[in-house]
Amino acid sequence: MILLANFMNAIASILNVVLNLFEILLILAAVFSWFPQIRYNQGVQMVNTIVDKILAPIRKFMPKYSGFDLAFVIAFILIIFIQAFVVASLFDYAAYLKN
């Protein structure tokens, strides 16, 4: 059981890091959108491409309201939920398996 517990800890840790990276990319994309003159920078284009792939499924269901893109807010809420529920549950279950 200790191997399964360690495996679950590793999966939870990796998932947590990936979700934190998505949060950082979402924040960067939001900040970059305030400066349209840097739109053609390769780094900005890379961040926007990744973020657009994350937000595309959400944007299918969430229309823009008065020019505001609520997909960013929904994405943050989903990331926080996954971290609070899925990642925390994996860590707790791994701790339970070790006992």
Q: How do residues 45-58 score in pLDDT, each as one tens digit?
A: 999 999 999 999 99
What band does 70 get if pLDDT is binned at 50, 70 and 90? confident
Tokens of 93: 């279950």
What is the model's pTM?
Answer: 0.86
The residues, ordered by sequence, that sit 6+ positions from 69 with a Cβ below 8 Å of its Cβ are 55, 59
Q: How many CB atoms sit inside 10 A of residue 75's CB? A: 22
Task: Give mean pLDDT, residues 4-10.
Answer: 94
- What is the number of domains present in the chain? 1
Tell me the C-alpha distance between 99 and 87, whole Å: 19
Q: Which residue has the tokens 């890379």?
A: 46
Find the domain containing 36 and state its range.
Answer: 2-98
pLDDT digits (tens, 9 = 90+) for 16-65: 999 999 999 999 999 998 998 998 899 999 999 999 999 999 988 887 77
Per-residue pLDDT for 69 more than 90? no
> CA angle at residue 32 from 30 to 36, to 5 degrees?
120
